[in-house]
Amino acid sequence: MDKEQEKKIAQLKDKINLDASQLDKIVDDIIAPYTKDLDEYVRFIKEDLLQDGNNPPTEEELDDVCINLPTFIYYASSMQERLGIKEDISKALYKEMYHSARDKIEGGTVADKNSLAELASQEEFIISMLYKRAYKTVCNKVDAAQELLSSCKKVMSRRISEMELTRMSSTGGR
């Protein structure tokens, strides 16, 4: 690769990174009202309860997580479905714009009409893509929160089993 090609590639990468960061911000703005509480609670778990590997969460802290996290998951799941509706609407608007633009094009090949229709509906496509990404992000956050809850329950079960074994061995199995 010569210097000119390397320069072009670097410029394209910079443009992609800039565009991606702008679109990431839009997606973050879309999902913020849907996952704000869940995000804050998971951040609390990470920063306050799991910050020190030498001091694992207490039983009371695990109880709180097992009680509170399902509530946040419930509301985020509800919001997820509302976001899904917006995704469906944005997809329908894109298709409507695409077909409307394609119908208005007179003459030319099928490929020409398709290209012009895609160009005319590019903004609607981007909006549709953003809502699709936002919906997937919310789904992934809800799934990850479910996994966190499941892990918490497993830790609690293991601790209960250990306490029962300790109690049984100290009382001689009675």
d(CA 37, CA 43): 10
d(CA 95, CA 101): 10
- The two tokens of residue 125 are 């496509």
d(CA 22, CA 44): 27
Phi, psi of 123 (to 5 degrees): -65, -45
- The two tokens of residue 34 are 């849907």
DSSP string, 70-105: HHHHHHHHHHHHHHHHHHHHHHHHHHHHHHHHHHH-
- pTM attached to this predicted model: 0.81
**What's residue 54's pLDDT?**
73
- HSE (side-chain half, CA atoms, 13 Å) at 10: 7
Going from the first residue of the chain to its last (174 residues), give the mean pLDDT of each consecutive group of 10, the final group possibly shorter. Answer: 89 91 94 94 88 79 92 94 95 96 91 93 95 96 96 90 85 63
CB 138 within 8 A of CB 76: yes
